Amino acid sequence: MTEEQKGKINQMEDFFIDKIADNMTTYGVSPTVGRVLGIIYMNRKPMTLNELSEATGMSKTRMSQVVREMLDLNIAEKIFEKGVRRDLYTVERDYYQTFVSLFTSNWQKVINKNKMFDKKVKTELVSILEQAEISEEDEIKINHLLKETKEWVDYYQWLARLVDFFESGEIFKHVPKT
């Protein structure tokens, strides 16, 4: 086997890593997060911060930051191995599961942020509406906003159901894996 062929194999692995990373950025994570995920994935076993630092050519501190982000997103996990002092990290090996994790954590975040919004707006609008002296024009405007609020709430409830549809695995019943 020539050196050239050895190189080819490694090159193919790097191709995969790039593709995984590329795919990943579509979820809104930074390219480095994607790359690290790809690296651990292709490594087929847990890695330490030092190894990652070595593999990416980036500082250990950066790896620490990236790994933490991945833990937050539920796409990596810290694992314990007896006798090993350094922290070891694995990634989800199932592409579908990774998709679901990122999809749900992104949208769940938005849903939570909007939790209190409609109540606040509604209360405020109704209280203005209850005042005696309002021009007709303004009343129309307020009613528009109230209607808008309702639609917004409906949309968010749909989003929540959608997230659940993915998280529960229901999606795979209708869009099967193979």
Residues that bind DNA (CB under 7 A): 30-32, 48-50, 57-62, 64-68, 85-87
| The entry of a copy of itself, DNA, none that residue 151 binds, CB within 5 to 8 Å by partner kind | a copy of itself
3-state SS class at 88: strand
Residues 6+ apart with CB under 8 A from 65: none
Percentages helix, strand, coil for the chain (3-state, rounded to 5) are 70, 5, 25
Q: How far is the CB of 72 from DNA (least distance, A)?
A: 12
Stretch that binds a copy of itself, among 49-57, 58-66, 77-85, 119-127 (CB under 8 A): 119-127
Residues 6+ apart with CB under 8 A from 85: none
| The entry of a copy of itself, DNA, none that residue 59 binds, CB within 5 to 8 Å by partner kind | DNA
CA 161, 167, 172, 173 torsion: positive or negative?
A: negative
Q: Which of 51, 62, 74, 145 binds a copy of itself (CB under 8 A)?
A: 145
| The entry of DNA, a copy of itself, none that residue 32 binds, CB within 5 to 8 Å by partner kind | DNA
- Between residues 109 and 150, which has the closer beta carbon with respect to DNA? 109
The two tokens of residue 161 are: 């159901």
